[in-house]
Structure 1
Amino acid sequence: MAYRGFEGKKHASVYQKYRIDPPEEIQKLILGYLDKKKEKPHDLAVDVGCGTGQLTRQIACHFKSVVGTDISKAQIEEARMMPGFPNVSYKVCPAETLPFDNSSVDLIAAATAAHYFDTDMFLKEVERILKPQGCIALLGYTSKFEFYFPGAHHGRLSEIYEEECRPFFPYIAVQGGKNDTMLQEMFEAIAYPDKERVEDIIYKIRKPVSDIVGLTESFSPYQNLLKAEPDVANAVLQRIEQRFLEEMKVSSPETELEMWVHYYCILASKPK
């Protein structure tokens, strides 16, 4: 990876607890695409930049083996603590140097991670290790979140969230901007003629206010702010919780609201 922003053990723990699992709709989209492009069996999937292994575990039952890779030792250690997936393993390595044989991988996936990769080097590795007709799936969600709660003014919770997150906007790495373009640069760089990008897959989930705060804490720009200005960073989380509860007219941070997350997915298949 060209960027390292998820190194700390505490950050990895927060990431594991609060990060959003990819929606089932995207899992079906990826596996349906793979089934159309390549005959079964599907032996090996590699989840690059796997973090604490949310996608790795989600697709495990569809392959003989799944390997999650990440440059962060702390993230991999957290992933390995999750029991019950005997065909899943993890490796610490960068996305640009993947420890797999030539033409050995059926699916290469990356969930909310590919914007941190060196595009040219990563795609060279994809070409090297992917089987003919094997597929690549790059998914993520943009920074546009929407929040809804009965009785709250329409759009107000979303406005509050954006307002309170502004202190860490200056700490967004260049790579974060690539994510909000839905990986346009990487999509254009994929040389395979068989490729597509599915946009604006809206994932509607219910989360308590406390989890929204925890999710915010897991973001790398927030962590960058925390290192530079800890008092400011802590105040951001406190204000998000306080203002959400006030707007929702409730007192418990365990009160659930509806969160809309805007996902996208790039799919491509290597020619025969």
Structure 2
Amino acid sequence: MATQMFEGRGHAAVYQKYRFAPGKELQQTILGYLQEKRANPAELVVDVGCGSGQGTRFLAEHFKKVVGTDISEAQIQEARDEASMPNVSYLVCPAEELPFEDASVDLLTSFTAAHWFDIEKFMREANRVVKPGGCIVLSTYTVDMSVRYGNCSEKLTKVFRENWDLILKYAHNRIKHVKDDYKEIFEALPFPDKKRVTNIFDKIPMTVADVVGYMESASPYQTFMKNDPEAAKSLLQETEKRMLETMGVSSRETPVEFYVRHVCVLACKGR
């Protein structure tokens, strides 16, 4: 069964507020691959482990019917509460038990979630529901982010990473899949027609407050909070303070550029 890390309503609300949608370069990688592989447009797209729906809403702009699924009721409620296009719906279910008929799904996706699944069971389920000729796209952003602002980008990134590394000490062991660039997940894919792209870079517009909020939304931070609430809160306050000092500004709403590296695993099922 999937590892459940984002269950609480409070965490789901932070996740909705601070998690970003797939960036432009990642979107282009995915859409370019699908264009290359498919003669017909996808009728049904299922976004597994959709969380509060950031990736699901991107897919809705391009496909006829999109269903977001997640094991967390709180996350699905956040997704439903956010304005969506009429072709989007959401379901609560485990990634390893999808309520879709055999060979009924044209495209199965997962954004920054596949590492939480029971990989073996999920791959069996993916093989069951994806149509012949259908595709799977599994992506994640990695933990080596950078923050840029004026001529202090290097110092700013150093401040962010020092504190981010303290949070990552509380990471679940499944983060190993992210750290190895989804290599094991790629190898587990049951379709021989597959590829893994590890060097997709996206610039995400944020503010200082957004960067700190992103840190708060991370599952290791939530574990840190349960273990030592005062130290966890203090770390975020210290991060914000040091970032503002490094930038020479006073407003936490000051814009910065948040650079992320995506890994994307793409596969097509034989016809």
TM-score range, shorter chain: over 0.9
Q: Could you say which residue in structure 2 is the equivalent of 1:171?
A: 170
TM-score (norm 2): 0.96
- Greater CA drift, 62-71 or 21-30: 21-30
Q: Could you say which residue in structure 2 is the equivalent of 1:63?
A: 63
Q: Is 2:25–2:201's contact at 8 Å kept on the other side of the alignment?
A: no
Unaligned runs of 5+ in 1: none
Matches within 5 A, 1:1-272: 1-152=1-152, 154-272=153-271
Q: In structure 2, give the amino acid aligned to 1:87.
A: N
Corresponding residue SS for 2:186: helix
Please report how far the alpha carbon of residue 196 of structure 1 lies from its aligned counterpart in structure 2 after TM superposition.
Answer: 0.6
- Greater CA drift, 164-173 or 37-46: 164-173
Please report how far the alpha carbon of residue 144 of structure 1 lies from its aligned counterpart in structure 2 after TM superposition.
Answer: 0.3
Corresponding residue SS for 2:146: strand
Tell me how large the CA RMSD over aligned residues is.
Answer: 1.2
Corresponding residue SS for 2:191: coil
Query: What is the CA deviation profile of residues 71-130 of structure 1, one whole-angstrom value per residue up to 9, with x for unaligned ones?
Result: 010000000012241111111111111110000000000000001111110000111000
| Counterpart Cα distance in 1 of 2:245 and 2:186 | 42
Corresponding residue SS for 1:267: strand
TM-score (norm 1): 0.96
| Counterpart Cα distance in 2 of 1:259 and 1:54 | 17
Q: In structure 1, give the amino acid aligned to 2:138.
A: L
| Counterpart Cα distance in 2 of 1:264 and 1:166 | 20
| Counterpart Cα distance in 1 of 2:56 and 2:103 | 20
| Counterpart Cα distance in 2 of 1:72 and 1:197 | 28
| Counterpart Cα distance in 2 of 1:49 and 1:205 | 22
Please report how far the alpha carbon of residue 34 of structure 1 lies from its aligned counterpart in structure 2 after TM superposition.
Answer: 2.0
Please report how far the alpha carbon of residue 27 of structure 1 lies from its aligned counterpart in structure 2 after TM superposition.
Answer: 2.0
Corresponding residue SS for 1:161: helix
Q: Percent identity?
A: 48
Unaligned runs of 5+ in 2: none
Please report how far the alpha carbon of residue 193 of structure 1 lies from its aligned counterpart in structure 2 after TM superposition.
Answer: 1.6
Count of paired positions? 271
| Counterpart Cα distance in 2 of 1:103 and 1:159 | 48
Corresponding residue SS for 1:155: helix
What stretches of structure 1 move > 6 A for 4+ residues in a row? none
| Counterpart Cα distance in 1 of 2:18 and 2:83 | 18
Q: Is 1:47–1:56's contact at 8 Å kept on the other side of the alignment?
A: yes
Q: In structure 2, give the amino acid aligned to 1:163.
A: E
Q: Is 1:27–1:59's contact at 8 Å kept on the other side of the alignment?
A: no
